[in-house]
């Protein structure tokens, strides 16, 4: 069922926000403010939030990853579990495109919701018809 003004956040967007990357953090902060005001719906699949968690552990520490998750919970983002249909939709994309399975889940969720995917990952350019709000790093 399509949702107006919905945005799916992939790990690229979340990681860039929590690392305060120039050009990404400001755009994400604006989306978070709009969601808090009820102007847009922000959505992330559990697997993409999991990617934020494990990549923060790798780059920083488990302690920092737990802090990031605690901060993330303060934002107005609907976390969507990967159910059987979403897993298969992601797998169907993975079968065709050379993109990580987690990214395919984000793309499939955006397609399911008729939402815009928020990312800076150029791998998504492969998927025709996918609506994307491209994040770019400053500098």
Contact between 130 and 96 (Cβ < 8 Å): no
Residue 41's DSSP bridge partners are: 6
Contact between 8 and 106 (Cβ < 8 Å): yes
Is the pLDDT confidence value at 1 over 50?
Answer: no
The CATH superfamily of 6-134 is 5'-nuclease (3.40.50.1010)
Angle value at C-alpha 51, between 27 and 96, nearest 5 degrees:
95
Domain ranges of the chain: 6-134
pTM: 0.94
Instruction: Return phi, psi of residue 116, to 5°.
Output: -100, 130
| pLDDT single digits (tens) 91-120 | 999 999 999 999 999 999 999 999 999 999
């Amino acid at each position: 069922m399509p949702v107006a003004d919905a945005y799916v956040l992939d790990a690229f967007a979340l990681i860039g926000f929590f690392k305060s990357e120039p050009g990404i953090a400001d755009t994400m902060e604006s989306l978070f403010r709009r969601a808090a005001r009820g102007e847009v719906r922000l959505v992330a699949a559990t697997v993409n939030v999991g990617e934020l968690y494990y990549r923060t552990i790798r780059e920083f520490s488990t302690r920092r990853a737990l802090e990031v998750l605690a901060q993330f919970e303060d934002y107005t983002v609907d976390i969507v579990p990967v159910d059987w249909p979403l897993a298969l939709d992601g797998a169907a994309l993975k079968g065709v495109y050379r993109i990580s399975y987690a990214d395919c889940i984000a793309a499939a969720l955006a397609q399911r919701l008729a939402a815009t995917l928020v990312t800076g990952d150029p791998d998504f350019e492969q998927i025709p018809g996918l609506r994307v709000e491209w994040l770019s790093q400053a500098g």
